[in-house]
Amino acid sequence: MYYEPGNIPHGLKHDPFKSCVVPRPIGWISTVDADGNHNLAPYSQFQNVTFNPPIVMFASNQDSRGGRKDSVRNAEQVGEFVWNMATWDLREAVNISAQELPPEVDEFELAGLEKAPSRLVKPMRVKRSPIQFECKYLNTLRFPGNGPMGSADVVFGKVVAIHIADEVLDADGLVDIVKVRPIARMGYFEYTSVDSKFSMVIPGDQRALLGGLEGSPDKVSMELNKS
């Protein structure tokens, strides 16, 4: 098949676009507004942007009324947000927190989640989440779109603190992703979870490149200083 979004229709029962870019990490973002109202919401358009310094982003479409979502407004106003890893064990809570609710509703309480205080930022963390990033807001890129929900706010933040539960680290100090079992967004109403993994190393002895792929600034600097 072939189609052009907004020009030549796909002719399918459901739009396939989101099912083609998969799996997508879930940005389970916690924020707090200036009045102290806590917010927690999942975003399926989330990713790390770079690793030195570590920067992440989440993209938020408008709500069903065409307004900006609480996570975006709070991150901009307070200047901080937290990413919490969404896992198989927390999948139902993630789904509950995805509802469109008034700003004063606390999704932590609605989903039965205990809060944990952050160290460097104001927003709370999901205590049961095995990995969390405390982030300082950097900037927002806004992309105009079609219809009330089409426009998107892409929010960037610098990771200033990382929490990893000791029990998800293996004997070599690696994050045991299969044990963590993060969930990821597919298309339609479908999700997946990580229950297997495999490794590949780029051929050759390009150690700086490999250090970058590993996400290790120290290894990159050490190799570059040798040359």
- Report the pLDDT value the prediction gives residue 67, as an integer from 0 to 100: 94
- Report the pLDDT value the prediction gives residue 223, as an integer from 0 to 100: 56
Global pTM value: 0.90
- Report the pLDDT value the prediction gives residue 208, as an integer from 0 to 100: 77
- Report the pLDDT value the prediction gives residue 227, as an integer from 0 to 100: 62
Q: Spell out, as residue ranges, where the chain has pLDDT lower than 70.
A: 219-225, 227
- Report the pLDDT value the prediction gives residue 26, as an integer from 0 to 100: 97
* 17-196 belongs to CATH 2.30.110.10: yes
Number of H helices, E strands in the chain: 8, 12
In the DSSP assignment, the letter for residue 96 is: H
Q: 221: helix, coil or strand?
A: helix
- For the chain, the structural domain boundaries read 17-196, 203-227
- Report the pLDDT value the prediction gives residue 138, as an integer from 0 to 100: 98
- Report the pLDDT value the prediction gives residue 213, as an integer from 0 to 100: 76
